[in-house]
Structure 1
Amino acid sequence: MSQNERKVVAITGAAGGIGFESALEFYNNGWDLSLCDIDGAMMTQKLTQNKLNSNRILSSEFDITRRESCETWIGETVERFGRLDCLICNAGIAHRSLFKNTDPEVILKVMSINFNSVVFLCHAAIPHLVKGKGSLIGISSVAGFSPLYGRTGYVSSKHALSGFFETIRSELEPELHVCLVYPAFVKTLFDKNTMDGDGKKLTRDKPTIGSHLLPEVVAKNIFRSVAKRKKRIVLSPIAKLSYLLSRLFPNFFTWIMKKNTQSEFL
């Protein structure tokens, strides 16, 4: 298959976890890759370890909170491959701290990475995506549809992402396929960059409910959602239960959520 015949996926936060496993899944299914991460060295190491064909990959290191950088990356992707068929907005960061103990700058940083960057990327990518009725994928979480104790900034960013994607879908379908992915706990190194209320790296462990999803399982579901043009996928039993409870019995959900999470902050 020639380069012009292969579809192209652009993935943020591609140095590990869901991002890199998604890259592998799409690559193994014949797609070319445009990958970005702020940790370019880690991304290069992963690509080398997996012996992927560099002719099918564009890898970029930059800060996605900068609008110019996002626009440049999308432009370079289209220039390199001649097309863009899917954008996966995966990059993110979290904090775990009560709002009263959180510097507002921490929340603004979370919003900048988790939401503002998505606005920049989508604005640059959508004109290319709609040409081939492509896909826009947002990696959300349980925090995208429910409250989570001690995570005001993170929850706000994921709620914003959900509302943004749902509205884009209403404006652009069927020319653009839009899917939100809602996993619960995923076995990745995501928590290594989680911040405390002062913006410093968090050192304490967090309580979890249920088992951790493997990132490769999430990646396979993402690829399937593109193939079947699904609008939303809620992954893992705990995420599905949370989704139902938060909608049908919101007060009960809040009570049980606090019971299982607030001990970290006592």
Structure 2
Amino acid sequence: MSQNERKVVAITGAAGGIGFESALEFYNNGWDLSLCDIDGALMSQKLDQNKFNSNRILSREFDIAKRENCETWIGETVERFGRLDCLICNAGIAHRSLFKNTDPEVILKVMSINFNSVVFLCHAAIPHLVKAKGSLIGISSVAGFSPLYGRTGYVSSKHALSGFFETIRSELEPELHVCLVYPAFVKTLFDKNTMDGDGKKLTREKPTIGNHLLPEVVAKTIFRSVARREKRIVLSPIAKLSYLISRLFPNFFTWIMKKNTQSEFL
């Protein structure tokens, strides 16, 4: 298959976890890759270890909180491959701290990565995605549809992401496929980079509810969602149960959520 015939996916947060496993899944299914991560060294290491064909990959080390970086990366992707068929907005950061103990700058930083960057990327990418009748994928979480104690910034960013994607879909389907993926706990290094209320790296452990999903399982689900043009995917039994309870019995959900998470902050 020639380069012009192969589809192209752009993935943020591609150095590990869901991002890297998604890159592997799409690559193994014949797609070319445009990858972006703030940790360029780790991304290069992963690419070298897995022996990717460099002719089928564009990788960039960028801070996607900056609009010019987002626009440059999307532009380079289309210039290199001549098309863009899918954008996966996966990059994200989190904090775990009560709002009263959280510097507002921490919340703004979370929003800048988890939401603002998505706005910048979508604004640059959507004309190309619509031309290809392609897909826009947002990686949300249980925090995208429910409250989550001690995570005001993270929850706000994921609620914003959900509202943004749902509205984009209403404006642009069927020319553009838009899908939100809601996993629960995923076995990645994401929590190792979580911030405390002062913006420093968090050191305390958090309780886990239910079993961890493997990132490769999430990646396969994402690839399938593109083929089936699914709109919303709630992954894992605990995420599905959380979705139902939060919608049908919101007060009960808040009570049980606090019961399982308040101990982190005592």
**Do Structure 1 and Structure 2 share a fold, with TM-score over 0.5?**
yes
> Alpha-carbon deviation of 1:19?
0.1
CA distance in 1, matches of 2:182, 2:160: 14
CA distance in 2, matches of 1:227, 1:54: 25
CA distance in 2, matches of 1:259, 1:9: 41
Query: How big is each residue's C-alpha offset from its partner over 1:145-171, in whole Å with a ceiling of 9 and x where there is no partner?
Result: 000000000000000000000000000
RMSD value, Cα = 0.3
SS of 1:137 mapped into structure 2: strand
> Alpha-carbon deviation of 1:75?
0.2
Which residue matches 2:218?
Answer: 218
Query: How big is each residue's C-alpha offset from its partner over 1:40-86, in whole Å with a ceiling of 9 and x where there is no partner?
Result: 00000000000010100000001101100100000000000000000
CA distance in 2, matches of 1:205, 1:215: 20
TM-score (norm 2): 1.00
Query: How big is each residue's C-alpha offset from its partner over 1:83-132, in whole Å with a ceiling of 9 and x where there is no partner?
Result: 00000000000000000000000000000000000000000000000001
CA distance in 1, matches of 2:27, 2:262: 41
CA distance in 2, matches of 1:243, 1:135: 24
Which residue matches 1:206?
Answer: 206
Which residue matches 2:175?
Answer: 175
SS of 1:3 mapped into structure 2: coil
Q: Which runs of 4+ in 1 moved over 3 A?
A: none
SS of 2:64 mapped into structure 1: coil
Which residue matches 1:123?
Answer: 123
> Alpha-carbon deviation of 1:192?
1.1
CA distance in 2, matches of 1:206, 1:50: 32
Structure 2 residue runs without a partner (length 5+): none
Structure 1 residue runs without a partner (length 5+): none
> Alpha-carbon deviation of 1:142?
0.1
CA distance in 1, matches of 2:96, 2:160: 18
SS of 1:126 mapped into structure 2: helix
Query: How big is each residue's C-alpha offset from its partner over 1:198-238, in whole Å with a ceiling of 9 and x where there is no partner?
Result: 00000000111000000000000000000000000000000
Which residue matches 2:31?
Answer: 31
SS of 1:5 mapped into structure 2: coil
Matched length: 266
**What pairs up with 1:24-103 in 2 under 5 angstroms?**
24-103=24-103
Quote the sequence identity (%): 94
CA distance in 1, matches of 2:212, 2:65: 29
